């Protein structure tokens, strides 16, 4: 892309874009699927390979690498001894058969941008007021282990290390064991005073594309209510068992799935719902299902609506259980409240976009991100670049290279202000 309108220093150069393209291509190749996506679940063999490659790259660029107790990878670049840190990153794990941009763009983009900024500050003898750190958060996606946002939640203290390490996948393997198996159960991170956190991400929605904008600055997030629910019936033969005597847990699950979708249709755009995962026992075609576990989500900017659903939908499930002669239990519940991101940091982002000549807009985020976890801990910014057709968590997820590079320009401008001006950048 052209850089003629971007201020002379610091800025990304064509060589820096090429360095990013190469690192991003490396990420896209590890765990790649035949359809062009990514299958790189937390603490899998592919995740280990990517972590190893990322740590090697960081070391080559002069970062000090530290892996903490939950497997978060920090690349630390000291520019001002004893000063607070500007932290930036995302995650390298993916959804099953997911996209190659989600998360990986934020980590690779932050790493290259920080390495570029540190180099240019040294070359021009500029004095920094902040240090720089890039982070790969463990298990952001929550695909193999639940809950999601695990690494950043442990870092901020919202989730205890013990709780996080005890999380098990579908085969009963704990996160602790999985991290040990790939060599990424690290040690406690020395005290890291974070002055600000920035996360660069693909939008995962259509709004920037529809509005013909180049940068989204997230000012607030939707709230989310997540449930893991199990219906329990009785295993039986699908042939001779009398229909009126069956206690079919899968039938109860089917009614629940339809009811979850009906709530979204009832409230229109104010509510997004899903059942993204269904597990059944014994999962045989000629056996009546004895157990069915559903992973249910309700998302809305209206927290009162979610509180209402928490009670009313619980009653609906009890009715479904009664009508299907099953029992129902709520095995896990997670509530993530609506959150306002740091206003001064958002305003700084919008101002920097204008200086760069980038068309930007304030936005809400419906999806959860590590920046949301971090927003309870320090001033945090979440920046979006467009997603083609708004498609995400899909192998066809795509963002144009020019938009990826614009995101790097945006991040460079933000980091420069935060690094050189310190607290004054947010005044």
* Mean local confidence (pLDDT), 391-404: 96
- Indicate if 248 and 200 belong to the same structural domain: no
- Indicate if 376 and 317 belong to the same structural domain: no
What residue numbers bound the domain in which 327 lies?
A: 223-336
pLDDT digits over 345-355, tens only? 999 999 999 99
| Residue 43 predicted with pLDDT over 90 | yes
- Indicate if 123 and 31 belong to the same structural domain: yes
The DSSP bridge pattern shows strands 85-90 and 131-136 to be parallel
pLDDT digits over 356-387, tens only? 999 999 999 998 899 999 999 999 999 999 99
Which of 128, 141, 282 minimizes the C-alpha distance to 204?
141
Round to whole Å and give the CA distance between 163 and 185: 15
The DSSP bridge pattern shows strands 215-221 and 339-340 to be antiparallel
- Indicate if 240 and 188 belong to the same structural domain: no
* Mean local confidence (pLDDT), 284-311: 96
Count structural domains, the chain.
Answer: 2
| Residue 2 predicted with pLDDT over 70 | no
* Mean local confidence (pLDDT), 118-130: 92
- Indicate if 25 and 108 belong to the same structural domain: yes
The confidence score (pLDDT) of residue 125 equals: 86
| Residue 48 predicted with pLDDT over 90 | yes
pLDDT digits over 178-208, tens only? 999 999 999 999 989 999 999 999 999 999 9
The confidence score (pLDDT) of residue 424 equals: 87
Task: Using a pLDDT cut of 70, give the percent of the chain over it.
Answer: 98
Confidence category of residue 3, pLDDT binned at 50, 70, 90: very low
- Indicate if 372 and 327 belong to the same structural domain: no
| Residue 6 predicted with pLDDT over 90 | no
- Indicate if 285 and 378 belong to the same structural domain: no
- Indicate if 326 and 342 belong to the same structural domain: no
- Indicate if 24 and 168 belong to the same structural domain: yes
Task: Using a pLDDT cut of 90, give the percent of the chain over it.
Answer: 93
CATH of the domain at 254: 3.30.70.360
- Indicate if 32 and 177 belong to the same structural domain: yes
Confidence category of residue 4, pLDDT binned at 50, 70, 90: very low
pTM: 0.89
Round to whole Å and give the CA distance between 299 and 395: 24
The confidence score (pLDDT) of residue 126 equals: 87
Last residue of a domain, one of 336, 369, 393: 336
Calculate the dihedral angle through the C-alpha atoms of 280, 284, 290, 295, rounding to the nearest 10 degrees.
10
The DSSP bridge pattern shows strands 194-202 and 380-385 to be parallel
At 94, phi and psi to the nearest 5? Answer: -130, 170
Contact 142, 148 (CB under 8 A): yes
Round to whole Å and give the CA distance between 25 and 47: 15
Which of 22, 94, 95, 99 minimizes the C-alpha distance to 61?
22
| Residue 217 predicted with pLDDT over 60 | yes
The confidence score (pLDDT) of residue 423 equals: 86
* Mean local confidence (pLDDT), 12-38: 97
The confidence score (pLDDT) of residue 203 equals: 96
The confidence score (pLDDT) of residue 8 equals: 56
Confidence category of residue 40, pLDDT binned at 50, 70, 90: very high
* Mean local confidence (pLDDT), 113-140: 95
Q: Does 2 fall in a domain?
A: no
At 86, phi and psi to the nearest 5? Answer: -100, 115
- Indicate if 87 and 68 belong to the same structural domain: yes
CATH of the domain at 108: 3.40.630.10
Residues in the chain: 427
Confidence category of residue 269, pLDDT binned at 50, 70, 90: very high
Q: Does 9 fall in a domain?
A: no
The confidence score (pLDDT) of residue 124 equals: 87
Cα 171 from chain centroid (whole Å):
23
When the pLDDT of each residue in the chain is averaged and rounded to a whole number, the result is 95
Partnered with residue 332 across adjacent β-strands are 228
């Amino acid at each position: 892309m052209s850089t003629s309108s971007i201020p002379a220093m610091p800025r990304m150069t064509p060589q820096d874009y090429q360095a990013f393209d190469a690192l991003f291509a490396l990420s896209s190749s590890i765990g790649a699927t035949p359809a062009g996506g990514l299958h790189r679940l937390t603490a899998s063999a592919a995740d280990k390979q990517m972590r190893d490659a990322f740590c090697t790259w960081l070391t080559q660029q002069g970062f000090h690498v530290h892996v903490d107790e939950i497997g978060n990878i920090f690349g630390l670049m000291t520019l001002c001894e004893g000063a607070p840190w500007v932290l930036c990153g995302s995650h390298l794990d993916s959804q099953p058969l997911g996209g190659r941009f989600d998360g990986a763009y934020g980590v690779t983009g932050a790493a290259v941008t920080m390495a570029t900024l540190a180099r240019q500050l040294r070359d021009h003898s500029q004095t920094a007021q902040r240090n720089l750190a890039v982070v790969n958060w463990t298990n952001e996606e929550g695909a193999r282990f639940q809950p999601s946002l695990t690494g950043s939640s442990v870092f901020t203290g919202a989730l205890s290390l013990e709780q996080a390490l005890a999380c098990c996948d579908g085969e009963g393997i704990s996160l602790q064991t999985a991290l040990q198996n790939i060599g990424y159960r690290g040690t406690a991170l020395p005290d890291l005073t974070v002055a600000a956190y920035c996360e660069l991400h693909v939008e995962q929605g259509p709004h920037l594309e529809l509005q013909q904008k180049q940068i989204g600055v997230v000012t607030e997030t939707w709230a989310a209510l997540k449930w893991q629910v199990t219906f329990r019936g009785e295993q039986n033969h699908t042939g001779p068992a009398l229909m009126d005597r069956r206690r079919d847990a899968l039938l109860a699950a089917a009614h629940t799935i339809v009811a979850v979708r009906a709530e979204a249709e009832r409230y229109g755009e104010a509510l997004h719902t899903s059942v993204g995962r269904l597990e059944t026992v014994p999962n045989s075609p000629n056996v009546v299902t004895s157990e069915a576990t559903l992973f249910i989500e309700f998302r809305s900017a209206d927290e009162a609506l979610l509180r209402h659903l928490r009670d009313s939908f619980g009653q609906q499930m009890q009715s479904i259980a009664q009508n299907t002669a099953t029992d129902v239990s709520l095995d896990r519940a997670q509530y993530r409240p609506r959150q306002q991101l740091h206003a001064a940091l958002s305003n700084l982002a919008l101002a920097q976009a204008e200086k760069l000549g980038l068309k930007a807009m304030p936005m809400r985020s419906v999806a959860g991100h590590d920046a949301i976890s971090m927003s309870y801990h320090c001033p945090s910014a979440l920046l979006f670049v467009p997603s083609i057709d708004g498609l995400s968590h899909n192998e066809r997820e795509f963002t144009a290279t020019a938009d990826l590079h614009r995101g790097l320009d945006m991040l460079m401008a933000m980091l420069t202000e935060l690094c050189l001006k310190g607290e004054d950048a947010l005044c």
